[in-house]
Amino acid sequence: MNQAQQNYVRRREACRRKTLLSYPPIKQKVRHLLLQHQWSPEQISKRLQQEDSPIQISYITIYRGIYTGQLEAQKLRKGERGIARKLRHHGKKRNSTGHNETRGKIKISNAIHVRPKEANERTCIGHWEADTVLDKTGLPCLITLTDRYSRYLLAEKIPLKKACFVTPKLIEMFQ
Q: Is the pLDDT of residue 108 over 90?
A: no
pTM of the prediction?
0.45
Q: Give me the pLDDT at residue 175, please.
A: 85
Q: Within 13 Å and on the Cβ side, how many CA atoms surround 102?
A: 4
Task: Determine the average pLDDT of the residues in 15-31.
Answer: 83
Q: In the chain, what are the domain boundaries?
A: 3-86, 112-174
| Planar angle of CA 167, 171, 175, nearest 5 degrees | 170
What's residue 139's pLDDT?
A: 82
Q: What is the pLDDT of residues 45-65, one digit of tens each?
A: 999 889 888 888 999 999 888
Task: Please check the confidence at residue 90 and state whether its pLDDT lies above 80.
Answer: no
Provide the 3-class DSSP secondary structure of residue 125: coil
Go through the chain and tell me how many residues it has.
175
How does DSSP assign 61-113, residue by residue? Answer: HHHHHHHHTTT-SSPPPTT--GGGGGSTTTT--SS-TTPPP-TT-PPPSS-GG
Provide the terminal-to-terminal Cα distance of the chain, rounded to the nearest Å. 74
- The pLDDT score that the predictor gives to residue 87 is 81
Q: What is the mean pLDDT of residues 68-77?
A: 76
Mean pLDDT in residue range 158-166: 90
